[in-house]
Amino acid sequence: MEFHKKHRNARFGYVFAVLAAVMFGSVSTLAKPLVSTVNPLLLASMIYLISAATLTPLAHKQKFPSSKKNYLLIITISLSGAVIAPSLFFIGLKHATASDAALIANGETFFSVLIAILFFKERIGRIGYIATSLILTGMVIVTTDLNFSNLTLEEFHYQDWLLILSVFFWGIDNNLSRMLIEKAEVAKIAQIKSAIGGAIMFVIAIFGFGIPFSLEESQIIPILVLGMIGFAASLYFFMQSLKRISTVRTVLIFSMASVFGLGASLIFLHEQISWYQIIAAIIMILGIWMMNRKDPTINPI
């Protein structure tokens, strides 16, 4: 009975990870053309604040466990994943090439997996390593089309290092969130993290960089949808997945967001996708199927 309960709980973890990837990938892709003229840092702060407001009905009756360790964890998670990482990413993105940024952004998965294995003692079996390699390979293909001619990574500038640092901090955030989820409710963690991140980034954007707060009427609904579904709901399901399965599996499945983004752009925006991207999607799906079938990750937390 206990085995079946644990197995069913893990299945829900996979479902939640896929839902998070679908919401984040598709909604972000569809909303991008409508909000592309909004300053990225200001947009990120608004999305985090909308996320906090969206999660409040779920979290307002939930209590955050009071202890110095838990307070330290939530502050570290909020600063690393909702302030430092997005700020560094958007500042670096402003000057780096789009192809570089797309490739470097995949580093979040790499750093999350690396930190989980080295510092949090998550173990992956032989098939687990094969599945991980397939997913990481698919990620590179889907974001580069195997066209590296425009990449400038051999000439690293400070903007590239800012992008790399940003995904490193997101990797820390993912692993620390896995620890805190064992002690606090998912909705409460996501709400606090979003509120702290949104408030600090808003202050940085308005008072630090002097960015004017101005929106067009046509941008309001896309920003609300992006914040409520593309981020709040996605973050909630992502953390629910972290609670049920390991960091490694959750992050690797969530990396499918780029594939769902491609599908959304094809169906709704009528953008063309290449055979390389189709092959990459198949490779990533195969990797996730292998991971699910073998269930190779042992979660010690």
Q: What angle do CA 119, 187, 295 make, to 5 degrees?
A: 45
Residue 266: which region, alpha, beta or left (left: phi > 0; alpha: psi -120 to 50)? alpha
Q: What amino acid is encoded at 138 in this protein?
A: G
Q: Distance between CA 251 and CA 242 in Å, rounded?
A: 8
What angle do the packed helices 234-244 and 247-254 form, to 10 degrees? 150
Name which of 151, 157, 141 is nearest 106 in CA terms.
141
188 within domain boundaries: yes
Q: Distance between CA 189 and CA 109 in Å, rounded?
A: 21
**Beta-carbon-side half-sphere exposure of residue 98 (alpha carbons within 13 Å):** 3
299 within domain boundaries: no
Q: What amino acid is encoded at 66 in this protein?
A: S
- In this prediction, residue 89 carries a pLDDT of 79
Split into its structural domains, the chain has a count of 1
301 within domain boundaries: no
300 within domain boundaries: no
290 within domain boundaries: yes
8 within domain boundaries: yes
The residue segments making up the domain with residue 88 are 2-294
Q: Distance between CA 226 and CA 24 in Å, rounded?
A: 8
Name which of 264, 214, 194 is nearest 32 in CA terms.
264
Name which of 106, 162, 158 is nearest 132 in CA terms.
106
Name which of 191, 220, 182 is nearest 49 in CA terms.
191
> What is the chain's pLDDT, residue by residue, as a tens digit (301 residues)?
555 556 677 888 889 999 998 998 887 677 767 667 888 888 889 999 999 999 999 998 889 998 999 999 999 999 999 999 888 877 776 665 554 555 566 677 778 888 888 888 777 778 778 887 887 787 777 666 666 565 555 555 666 678 778 889 999 999 999 899 988 999 999 999 999 999 999 999 999 889 998 888 888 898 899 899 988 999 999 999 998 888 888 888 888 877 787 788 778 777 777 787 788 878 888 887 776 665 544 344 3
- The neighbouring-strand residues paired with 298 are 123
Q: Which two tokens stand for residue 151?
A: 């990449």
Q: Which two tokens stand for residue 274?
A: 């290449």
- In this prediction, residue 236 carries a pLDDT of 94
Q: What amino acid is encoded at 255 in this protein?
A: S
pTM: 0.81
Consecutive H or E run containing 107: helix 107-118
Q: Distance between CA 65 and CA 62 in Å, rounded?
A: 9
116 within domain boundaries: yes
